[in-house]
Structure 1
């Protein structure tokens, strides 16, 4: 498999893993926003971002301070 295709497959595999670990889980972000993760989004400029129920916008996953287990 070409190298670029291998990298793309790894990115997609990790994206789906993150989806299964975070979608539907309660989170608290570093700015105090809290709610259930509604979706994950890949952003060219910012990487992996999440949307939280009840709060318009998308935040980097690195801002998760606390997540439901």
Structure 2
């Protein structure tokens, strides 16, 4: 009987932790999107700098 209850508690704890993670993600989604957009912009800026050796957008956009 003890061996049958262990998998049940394990599965229950996994489903609870998954729903808790999803709730935390919903709360922080705006901050996460903002951070990812910043990281993307920074990455693109550094890639352009390596090619053009300038941060001046008028030079790199042409």
Please say whether Structure 1 and Structure 2 have the same fold, judged by a TM-score greater than 0.5: no
More helix by share: 2
Query: What's the TM-score once normalised by structure 2's chain length?
Result: 0.42
- RCO greater where, 1 or 2, for CA within 8 Å and sep 6 or more? 1
More strand by share: 1
Q: Which has the larger radius of gyration?
A: 2
